Structure 1
Amino acid sequence: MPSPDDDHTGTRIREQRRLARLTQRELANRIPYSYSLLNQVECGARPATADFVAAVAHALKVDVTTLTGQPYVTELQRDRLAELVRPIREALDLYDLGANPDLTARPAAQLVAAADRLCAEVRATHLRNAARALPGTIAELTHTAWATPSTELWRALASTYRTAHDITVKLGYYDLSAVALDRMAWAAERASDPCLGAVRQYMRALVYFREGEYTIGQRLVAAGHNVVAQAEESREALAVAGQLHLGGSVIAARADDVAAVVEHIGEARKIAKRIGDASDIHWLSFGPANVAMHRMSAAVEMGQYDNALKQARRIRLPASVATSRRAHFLIDQARTEMETGHTDAALEHLVQARKAAPEQTRYHPGARETIRGLVHTARRTPDTLNYMAAWVGL
């Protein structure tokens, strides 16, 4: 069995707790988790789940990334992904410079198509390809939108900013992802597109969900509903509203608001029944399958692992489900299998997630913590688990 290293979320929680001059008992009194669990996480005997980390970060008044160690720079450098982040950062800073007289851009129709292809690459989890193409596309769209403004071009530019957010979140650069969302709002306003504005509010809500600020997250979901209500009723507006309900369901689950979870899932299900699979709209993956996955995720977030496992085993994902969403579901299911003692099944689902989306899985905190948990609970570590642990850098 591999020896657990000293650089893990539990040790970082211990370091930050000591910097705050708190004992384990004092910190445990500030979070909705037991002293025993805190002790086990700090010593590495239990994985630090996303909800646990968010609660500790909130109590210690630090960013979640301070505790998770993101971005995972060593692995990113080894994979030659870290070098792709700086050009994205620079491209995001061009937004207010107007047209660039030294730039020759592709025709507008090609740029709009390029923005859409970037979204497709991210959903297919081809993060490296998307990250390489993104800065140039942002620069060309920025130039063209300023030179010959149109709703279509501003929408496409907002889409590239959304792609920048998606990539930087998946790689762990959360500070940069916040900048990308600000730029998305800026472009969406110029497009006068309430649906895009509502999508941005949905994504902002997930930022606060990750940070453990559930009240703010719920307010942002409500704000998103207010924004999308300004649009004419359409399949697009309904899909965005449905996705807002799904985001609201997992935020409510973390806040232990069961009634709100039931309400959000119920509303999303009604919309999905009405419009069917709408995964083509804003690349949100909205539809009946996504409603089922979010219902299962809400059970996971509420610690209802037996219920979540029953749901997960009943879900049959259609081929149309985006690879990124499929991998996220497999990681959630792996955590659920581990928490219910089905360690072999947990490992198998992690292997499936890796096969489907290697870049996304390697940098997913939930996958890494589940692998760590499996290492610590295994009496004898299978070669596959040894390989997975080494692969994510444990």
Structure 2
Amino acid sequence: MDRIEFGRRVAYWRTRRHLSQQEFGSLMGRSRRWVEELEGGRRQAVPQLSVVTDIAARLNITMDRLLHDPVALHPADREADAVRAALQRYDVLTGRTDDFSGDPVPVAVLRRALVHARTGFQAGAFGRLGAQIPKLLVDATRAADRHEGEDRDEAHRLLALSLELAEAAAIKWGDTELAVTAGERAVAAAERSGDPVIMASAARHLADAMTAHGQAAAAVQVATAAAGRLHDDLVRRGALGLSVLGMLYLKAALGQAAVAEADDRHPEAAARAVPGYLDQADEHATRLGRDDNLLWTSFGPTNCTLYRVAAHVSLSAGAQAVEAANSIPPGALAALPRERRAHLLTDRAQGEMRAGKRETAVDTLLEAEKLAPEEVLRRPRTKRLVDDLLLLGAGSAEGRLRDLAARCELPG
């Protein structure tokens, strides 16, 4: 848990106990200023365990309630909990629906529900997924268990894709542990489908989750192993196969960039492998010959460049990230889904900040907010960027930055 989230929880429980900041500070043997900085997320780190224990005691709550009580959660946390609860259902865990007495949802209806939820995700609307994904998981599990023949195979494919959506949403919500759980389940469901395209798609989602969860080396292995195992089958599937194959190499590239970023001894050696994965993705994009959104990959030459931007950001190469972002033709960028465009803008803002262009970074974030507000205002990754800019200062953009921070529910 970061210091902003911890401070917000302390403020929530202090208010529940009808204590002013001055009163709570007195109970803690601290000043009101200390409480302000703690609750506003402006202290350098979350307090030591002994201090956290004392805070819980003074607020008359357990440590678990202070740190994990769902009452004090952001909406995104509650959405993640709803998906987690669905994944923990016995029928969803086992795939057996013996206690279900109704008819399974027809696969055509299930497919429309998945397309609707995925379309919303790519439009940058993540808020409804906490209700949509659990229903998809339950309905797809029942369909896979109760249908027969081709409908059963299709239900397994749709279950795997629904689990992929759970992984992707969990990444947006900042719950990387949930993302890994959903990603692993997607891989298992994809294997049951027997479809190489679905297997590759699930592997690329799991690799994404592993990288986000600090398991970057494992993510590279998953992505490259899947690409090697499924290569021939995917090439035979034409454009759809090339799209998921290319995405595997893009995920390998980001995983490798994260490996290099975490390597304290030989980061340059680890970083040298990143361009190779990006180049392999480019080869498949060239064979595809266009930008497309088959199986919600947004794969093509433009998305490959987006991943080059992201890799530069991960490697702290801010100027190169900005240069790569600026090389994308406006028309090609405009044709991508809103989520992809907004994600690029937040990556570009990261690059601009690291290149010392903090005022420009603020304007880039405002552009991303206008395009897909939830990508900026609700995503922990982007909120951390806003908080970093607050700490560093943004010159003439300071007022706009503080307004943005307020909309992100961060201390201004």
- Normalising by structure 1, we get a TM-score of 0.77
Tell me if 1:277 matches 2:290.
yes
Residue of structure 2 equivalent to 1:89: 84
Q: Distance in 1 between matches of 2:221 and 2:202?
A: 13
**1:338-359 deviation digits (Å, cap 9, x = unpaired):** 1222222101111122222222
Q: Distance in 1 between matches of 2:84 and 2:359?
A: 41
Q: Distance in 2 between matches of 1:292 and 1:228?
A: 24
1:109 Cα deviation from its structure 2 partner: 1.1
8 A contact 2:309–2:321 mirrored in 1: yes
Which piece of structure 1 moves more, 200-209 or 120-129? 200-209
**1:289-329 deviation digits (Å, cap 9, x = unpaired):** 11111112222222222222222222234332122211111
Greater RCO between the two (CA within 8 Å, min separation 6)? Answer: 1
- Gap regions ≥5 residues in structure 1: 20-69
**Alignment identity in percent?**
24
1:75-224 paired onto structure 2 within 5 Å: 77=74, 79=75, 81-92=76-87, 93=89, 94-95=91-92, 96=94, 97-98=96-97, 100-149=99-148, 150-224=152-226
Q: Distance in 2 between matches of 1:293 and 1:142?
A: 34
Q: Distance in 1 between matches of 2:38 and 2:400?
A: 16
8 A contact 2:359–2:397 mirrored in 1: no
8 A contact 1:249–1:298 mirrored in 2: yes
Residue of structure 2 equivalent to 1:61: none
Residue identity opposite 1:236 in structure 2: L
Tell me if 1:247 matches 2:254.
no
Q: Distance in 1 between matches of 2:200 and 2:68?
A: 28
Residue of structure 1 equivalent to 2:400: 384
1:219 Cα deviation from its structure 2 partner: 1.2
Residue identity opposite 2:84 in structure 1: R
8 A contact 2:333–2:341 mirrored in 1: no
1:380 Cα deviation from its structure 2 partner: 6.6
Residue identity opposite 1:231 in structure 2: D
Which piece of structure 1 moves more, 318-327 or 228-237? 228-237
Q: Distance in 2 between matches of 1:340 and 1:304?
A: 8
- Cα distance change on mapping 1:189 and 1:114 into 2, 3 Å: same
8 A contact 2:219–2:255 mirrored in 1: yes
Q: 1:7 aligns with which of 41, 56, 65?
A: 41
- Cα distance change on mapping 1:74 and 1:343 into 2, 3 Å: farther
- Gap regions ≥5 residues in structure 2: 1-35, 53-66, 261-267
8 A contact 1:88–1:135 mirrored in 2: yes
Which piece of structure 1 moves more, 352-361 or 253-262? 253-262
Which piece of structure 1 moves more, 310-319 or 343-352? 310-319
Q: Distance in 2 between matches of 1:177 and 1:102?
A: 31
Q: How many residues align?
A: 340
Q: Distance in 2 between matches of 1:178 and 1:194?
A: 21
Q: 1:367 aligns with which of 382, 387, 393?
A: 382
Q: Distance in 1 between matches of 2:186 and 2:213?
A: 20
8 A contact 2:160–2:185 mirrored in 1: yes
Q: Distance in 2 between matches of 1:294 and 1:318?
A: 13
- Cα distance change on mapping 1:108 and 1:250 into 2, 3 Å: closer
8 A contact 1:99–1:147 mirrored in 2: no
Deviant stretches of 4+, over 4 Å? 2-6, 70-76
1:330 Cα deviation from its structure 2 partner: 0.6
- Cα distance change on mapping 1:86 and 1:252 into 2, 3 Å: closer
**1:360-387 deviation digits (Å, cap 9, x = unpaired):** 3223333222212222232576332111
Residue identity opposite 2:305 in structure 1: A
- Normalising by structure 2, we get a TM-score of 0.74
Q: Distance in 2 between matches of 1:305 and 1:196?
A: 35
Residue of structure 2 equivalent to 1:313: 326
- Cα distance change on mapping 1:103 and 1:140 into 2, 3 Å: farther
8 A contact 1:331–1:353 mirrored in 2: yes
- Cα distance change on mapping 1:83 and 1:335 into 2, 3 Å: closer
Residue of structure 2 equivalent to 1:349: 364
Higher helix share: 2
Q: 1:331 aligns with which of 337, 342, 346?
A: 346
8 A contact 1:252–1:261 mirrored in 2: yes
